[in-house]
């Protein structure tokens, strides 16, 4: 078997890459370890930057996104007994974000790939990468797939990054001393906009998926488990951290899903080796406070598509050679923004009263200075 691009992983990165390459006439095979039902059902992030929406719409997979996605024109920062709106329409006119679940993006992409006769294989076992700096090929479940290029889109726990000889890549990592408990609930959102709430009890986020489904996150200890968070405890804590301004009541409902996500920043440099190119979570992770993970994956894939198109249509590898450098500028900006939002809003056990006053002072600055609020807004909606 032979293909032009062997893609490992059917997350947003791998599926979008396969679809965009198909539109440019480049063939690919996607190999995914999990079942289709598993990847379509996995609840993840949900904030799409305008550039991400435009990429999906231009690629012809934005129809349901346009119909069901919820455009947002601001977010609320809540602390010290007050809510403060960061108004995108005022600070970054014409730019918005859209709330649409990542697993909905994945469903739309899988449907598009299959409709176009794309080769997406689920439940593929033991994918291994070979001869990355020569004539690359993949093996899996007793089969062999020769590729001109391999795209490692297999997420943070994938096999691609680990297949590069030791010492070639540098890994930069920051672990945070807390995790997020993510909660999906069948209840109408209690607010039209996302609420990022900083309290002495820890951080809470009120997000949403549809007019009937809300999404919440709670800062929890790094070793917390979902089992320690029965539904009553989740609602009590969400209320304690969100009902902090006069007149706000949190509506409760049936909890559909609960999971703990570690918080870390991680960057691989460079994001390539030989004929292997890493994209999305395989190359970098951000703490979710800035809502950048999925958007960075889409940005990588845009750059990689251009580079591969050039390579296959002209034989020139110049864009491929510059792939990592072209991506890392945005990756590091997003790392900084995500770190900044995280430190602004969470409680750190190591913080003394002085540290907490600094944090509150900075929040006051961000919510009262137009320049500081614009910095937040333009990073949040996504830099060009």
So which residues are the catalytic ones? 72, 196, 288, 292, 380
The candidate with the shortest Cα–Cα distance to 42, out of 68, 10, 18, 7, is: 10
Give CA–CA dist 162/328, Å, rounded: 19
Query: Residue 291 binds which entry of ligand PHB, ligand APR, none, with Cβ cut-offs from 5 to 8 Å by kind?
Result: ligand PHB
- Binding status of residue 381 toward ligand PHB by CB under 6 A: no
Tell me the three state secondary structure of residue 157.
coil
Q: Which stretch binds ligand APR (CB under 6 A): 187-195, 224-232, 290-298, 320-328?
A: 290-298
Q: List, as one string, the DSSP characters of 264-294.
A: EEEEEESSEETTEEE-GGGTEE--GGG--HH
Contact assessment for residue 111 and residue 16, using Cβ atoms and an 8 Å cutoff:
no
* Site residue total, ligand PHB (CB under 6 A): 10
In a 3-state reduction of DSSP, which class is residue 9?
coil
Q: Does 46 bind ligand APR (CB under 6 A)?
A: no
Per CB under 6 A, does 294 bind ligand APR?
Answer: yes
Strands 82-87 and 28-31 come out as: unpaired
Window 215 to 244, contacts with ligand PHB (CB under 6 A) = 215
- Residue 128, SS3 per DSSP: strand
43-102 residues in contact with ligand PHB (CB under 6 A) are 45-47
Partner touching 32 among ligand APR, ligand PHB, none, CB below 5 to 8 Å by kind: ligand APR
| Distance from C-alpha of 91 to C-alpha of 260, rounded to nearest angstrom | 34
- The reply to whether 299 sits near ligand APR by the rule CB under 6 A is no
289 binds ligand PHB per the rule CB under 6 A:
yes
Closest CA to 65 of 122, 114, 111, 31: 111
Would you count residue 297 as binding ligand APR (CB under 6 A)?
yes
What is the nearest approach in angstroms of ligand APR to the Cβ of residue 47?
A: 9
Residue nearest to ligand PHB as judged by C-beta position: 207
As to burial, measured by CB atoms within 10 angstroms (0-12 exposed, 13-18 middle, 19+ buried), residue 194 is: buried
**Dihedral sign of CA atoms 247, 252, 256, 257 in order:** positive
23 three-state secondary structure: helix
Question: What element of type H or E holds 119?
Answer: strand 119-121
136 binds ligand PHB (CB under 6 A): no
| # residues near ligand APR by CB under 6 A | 29
Is residue 293 near ligand APR by the rule CB under 6 A? yes
If one asks whether residue 345 binds ligand PHB (CB under 6 A), the answer comes out as no
- Geometric angle at alpha carbon 297, from 56 and 63, rounded to 5°: 15
Any contact of residue 62 with ligand APR (CB under 6 A)?
Answer: no
Which one of ligand APR, ligand PHB, none interacts with residue 97, CB within 5 to 8 A by kind? Answer: none
User: Judged by CB under 6 A, does residue 164 bind ligand APR?
Assistant: no
Residues in contact with ligand APR by the rule CB under 6 A: 8-14, 31-34, 39, 44-45, 102, 124, 127, 153-155, 157-159, 280-282, 293-294, 297
Q: Enumerate binding residues for ligand PHB (CB under 6 A).
A: 45-47, 194, 205, 207, 215, 288-289, 291
């Amino acid at each position: 078997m032979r293909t032009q691009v062997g893609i490992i992983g059917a997350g947003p990165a791998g599926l979008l890459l396969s679809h965009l390459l198909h539109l440019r006439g480049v063939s690919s095979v996607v190999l995914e370890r999990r079942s289709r039902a598993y990847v379509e059902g996995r609840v993840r992030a949900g904030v799409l930057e305008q550039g991400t929406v435009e990429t999906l719409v231009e690629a012809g997979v934005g129809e349901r996104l346009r119909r069901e996605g919820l455009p947002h024109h601001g977010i609320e920062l809540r602390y010290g007994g007050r809510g403060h709106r960061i108004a995108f329409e005022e600070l970054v006119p014409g730019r918005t974000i859209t709330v649409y679940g990542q697993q909905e993006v994945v469903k739309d992409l899988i449907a598009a790939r299959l409709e176009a006769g794309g080769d997406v294989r689920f439940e593929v076992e033991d994918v291994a990468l070979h001869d990355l700096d020569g004539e690359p090929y993949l093996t899996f479940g007793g089969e062999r797939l020769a590729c001109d290029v391999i795209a490692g889109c297999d997420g943070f726990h994938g096999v691609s990054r680990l297949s590069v000889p030791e010492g070639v890549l540098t890994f930069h990592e920051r672990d945070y001393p807390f995790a997020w408990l993510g909660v999906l609930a069948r209840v109408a959102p209690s607010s039209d906009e996302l609420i990022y709430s900083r309290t002495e009890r820890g951080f809470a986020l009120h997000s949403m998926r549809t007019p009937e489904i809300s999404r919440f996150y709670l800062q929890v200890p790094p070793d917390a488990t979902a089992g320690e968070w029965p539904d009553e405890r989740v609602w009590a804590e969400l209320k304690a951290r969100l009902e902090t301004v006069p007149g706000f009541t949190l509506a409760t409902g049936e909890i559909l899903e609960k999971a703990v996500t570690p918080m870390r920043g991680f960057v691989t440099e460079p994001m390539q080796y030989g004929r292997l190119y890493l994209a999305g979570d395989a190359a970098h992770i951000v703490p979710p406070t800035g809502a950048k993970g999925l958007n960075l994956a889409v940005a990588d894939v845009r750059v990689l598509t251009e580079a591969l198109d050039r390579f296959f249509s002209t034989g020139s590898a110049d864009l491929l050679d510059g792939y990592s450098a072209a991506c890392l500028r945005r990756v590091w900006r997003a790392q900084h923004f995500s770190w900044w939002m995280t430190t602004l809003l969470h409680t750190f056990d190591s913080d003394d009263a002085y540290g907490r006053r600094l944090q509150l002072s900075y929040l006051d600055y961000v919510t009262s200075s137009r320049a500081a609020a614009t910095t937040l807004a333009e990073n949040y909606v996504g830099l060009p």
